[in-house]
Structure 1
């Protein structure tokens, strides 16, 4: 079984071919520009192999409703040139194979659930905090989708009393992404997060917003584990601050696992999205065999 995977990000696309044991055989990275410019080298890459299925995790919003006329498309994204792009339809023009289609965070979260830090749990909330903020919830092996996929990064949150930053989201003034994403941190403080590693006030404020969101997700979803990934979470000192703030805000209202195990960094590092694509593609192959 030869599997294809695409991690479609706002800055770059990563395409990979792997086997059913999740071993990466080959990989290519392409800048995210216009659809035709980005997808052409991706197709050229896959044309070298006889793949059995493809798993795609894409930036969004995307249409994941299989009964919808626009299923498989990127929809209302602010990313230039990609609004209403028929991603799955474009792939089907080249490959007559099953295609799994979900968000980039759903794919990464599923990988963490199956093979990463949430392995052997029944439910996992995965969040990425980087250029944007997104989240996916996996419960008993199933990715949560309803009318569409969750947009957890746009949860409205309470501003810190001492924070005068106006927010960085063009849609909502006080949403999590607008207040705590990488670009929000850079705009507020005038430097990138990696340049602010030694500033305790930066990470205490970041932890305040993230912990606030995690309390809300905990009360609504009651996950068994929360995994935090993305570039901002490479500042490992923030995990202790998040756990402290979380405990203070939750006030023991509901029971949660020990916080050291409940709120954790990623286990699969930067490969979670690609591995998630492989896993979802493999699931389609297995399902097709059993029909």
Structure 2
């Protein structure tokens, strides 16, 4: 049996399941402070004979296995979790293999193996919600360099009629600062769900997201783009994104039919937790390979 943790800024989803992504049981735990949240996390997994646990976590996190702070949540704005040794806490409790990556990378893995990009060796998963983040699978592997991708903080061109300063505490008007859920609410004075009928709201949102997609397409050339998160539940924004993207690309590269290329998650809200189960599977296989070598 495998364990999975999707660690978000507002809640932790914990689940047990199998290596095909089937979930046996799952619970949600509020994200408060590590002492409280992790006590409940550990108590949940103590009920099951889990062989490994996969973690898809909010970040930034340290995913460099050669680093002394590997497995840590690092410079997060959630101050109680800053420099928290996440992997070590799980290993101390269970002494089993632990897979560790970002929540969006986990979701990308889930969608690549079992969701909207199943059968493809590359995809891009982007979540647009409280923040904006992205994970990428390239040639069948999660993209990682010096650290994990932070695609939500790229710079985009400001719309000529948009006077909003931006919400990001680091960059103000980066993509996340202009297009994440809190930016929509602060700019327009209401939550996105209350603005469903406002064409101007979603056309502006699409203007920024399409710019980001153009850059990701030109750099990574993903075979499928999956847009998840709470903001993307406003399905009308997809058409606006398609229109802006076609104008931006302007025929420079040939794109597939956009309604098939830029899609919602095939796994719905389970993309992250399913991907975390797959991280657990990878960690277990890695241990078994080392033992047999």
Question: Shorter chain as normaliser: what TM range?
Answer: over 0.9
Q: Distance in 2 between matches of 1:247 and 1:72?
A: 40
Q: Residue 264 of structure 1 aligns with which residue?
A: 263
Deviations 1:166-196 (A, max 9, x none): 1000100220000000000000000000000
Q: Residue 254 of structure 1 aligns with which residue?
A: 253
Q: Residue 118 of structure 2 aligns with which residue?
A: 119
Q: Residue 14 of structure 1 aligns with which residue?
A: 13
Q: Distance in 2 between matches of 1:289 and 1:92?
A: 17
Per-residue deviation at 1:71? 0.3
Partner of 2:87, secondary structure, is helix
Per-residue deviation at 1:80? 2.2
Q: Aligned Cα RMSD in Å?
A: 0.9
Q: Residue 174 of structure 1 aligns with which residue?
A: 173
TM-score (norm 1): 0.98
Deviations 1:240-274 (A, max 9, x none): 11011000001111222221221111111111111
Which segments of 5 or more consecutive residues in structure 2 lack a partner in the other structure? none
Partner of 2:3, secondary structure, is strand
Q: Residue 77 of structure 1 aligns with which residue?
A: 76
Q: Is the 8 A contact 1:224 1:257 kept in 2?
A: no
Per-residue deviation at 1:137? 0.6
Q: Residue 150 of structure 1 aligns with which residue?
A: 149
Q: Residue 212 of structure 1 aligns with which residue?
A: 211
Q: Residue 190 of structure 2 aligns with which residue?
A: 191
Q: Distance in 2 between matches of 1:287 and 1:86?
A: 21
Q: Residue 163 of structure 2 aligns with which residue?
A: 164
Which segments of 5 or more consecutive residues in structure 1 lack a partner in the other structure? none
Q: Distance in 1 between matches of 2:250 and 2:136?
A: 24
- More moved, 149-158 vs 16-25: 16-25
Q: Residue 222 of structure 2 aligns with which residue?
A: 223
Q: Residue 109 of structure 1 aligns with which residue?
A: 108
Per-residue deviation at 1:228? 0.2
Partner of 1:138, secondary structure, is strand
Q: Is the 8 A contact 1:125 1:137 kept in 2?
A: yes
Per-residue deviation at 1:286? 2.7
Partner of 1:81, secondary structure, is helix
Number of positions where the alignment pairs a residue of Structure 1 with one of Structure 2 = 290
Q: Distance in 2 between matches of 1:36 and 1:256?
A: 48
Deviations 1:105-127 (A, max 9, x none): 00011100111111111210110
Q: Distance in 2 between matches of 1:237 and 1:173?
A: 26
Partner of 1:127, secondary structure, is strand
Q: Is 1:86–2:85 an aligned residue pair?
A: yes
Q: Distance in 1 between matches of 2:79 and 2:73?
A: 12
Partner of 1:135, secondary structure, is strand
Q: Distance in 2 between matches of 1:80 and 1:191?
A: 27
Partner of 2:170, secondary structure, is coil
Q: Distance in 2 between matches of 1:23 and 1:212?
A: 36
Partner of 1:247, secondary structure, is helix
Q: Residue 135 of structure 1 aligns with which residue?
A: 134
TM-score (norm 2): 0.97
Q: Residue 46 of structure 2 aligns with which residue?
A: 47
Per-residue deviation at 1:284? 2.4
Q: Residue 239 of structure 2 aligns with which residue?
A: 240
Q: Distance in 2 between matches of 1:152 and 1:230?
A: 15
Q: Distance in 1 between matches of 2:143 and 2:20?
A: 25
